[in-house]
Amino acid sequence: MRYLIVGLGNPGKKYEGTRHNIGFAAVDLLAKKHGLEFRKSLKVQGARAEGMIAGEPCLLLKPLTFMNLSGESVALTMRYASIDLSSLLVLVDDVAIPLGEMRLKINSSAGGHNGLKSIEESLQTDRYARLRLGVGDCPRGPDDRGDLSSHVLGRFSSDEEKLIPALLKRAVETTELFITKGLTRAMDFANQRSIDSKHREVNE
């Protein structure tokens, strides 16, 4: 079985390090750990890295279509590489999950995320695994509304940055479990609350 691991984000230096690009950051770390190198592919409108992860053939993808059209690249890659839907995992940012936490789900809504909406439209299904990486909720103003676009396209504060390495490490470990042990084992690992979160709750 061949696996397709997709990290969502926006291409270009302008967006590096933003909350919206944490999916890119996660697959970059995965590729680095396993000695894989990304190369741009016009055929699939994305950057691809191919090789073995824990003895399994894998294809890593960073769509270069910008977030709102991510599905086009994913669908092209799945057709080109003959990827089964059960072998697809998408890593994506989520403002509804506390910073540093993550959730692995299948058959859940896009939750307003334009990248996931695009994938569902292109694949005509939501029955694929998605690992949602918590990037923190949008700060609220006096009218209880925040600028979501500025939030997700903004960068982490210096304090928030301290939580990112552990989040990316767990994202990589979750992906490896998905590949080697299957969805259920990966969900058991990913959906545990972090030690930092439990510690904060006890001390609040």
Please give the Cα distance from 41 to 43 (Å, whole number): 5
Which pLDDT value is given to residue 153? 85
- In the chain the domains, ranked by start, together with CATH numbers, are 3-203 (3.40.50.1470)
Check if 20 is active-site: yes
Distance CA 90, CA 130 (A): 5
Q: What is the pTM of this model?
A: 0.89
Instruction: Name 145's Cβ contacts closer than 8 Å, sequence gap at least 6.
Output: none
Q: Mean pLDDT in runs of 10 for the chain (204 residues)? A: 95 93 98 98 97 96 96 97 97 93 87 90 95 84 58 88 96 98 96 58 41
| Given 20, 34, 151, 199, the catalytic residue | 20
Handedness of CA 19, 47, 113, 191 (dihedral sign): negative
Q: Are 95 and 137 in contact (CB under 8 A)?
A: yes
Structure token digits, residue 161: 């940055």
In which order are the strands placed within the sheet that holds 56-63? 39-41, 46-53, 56-63, 3-7, 88-94, 129-134, 102-106
Cβ burial, residue 111 (10 Å; 0-12/13-18/19+)? middle
Residue type at 118 in one-letter notation: S
Q: What is the pLDDT of residue 194?
A: 54
Cα(98)–Cα(131) distance, integer angstroms = 14
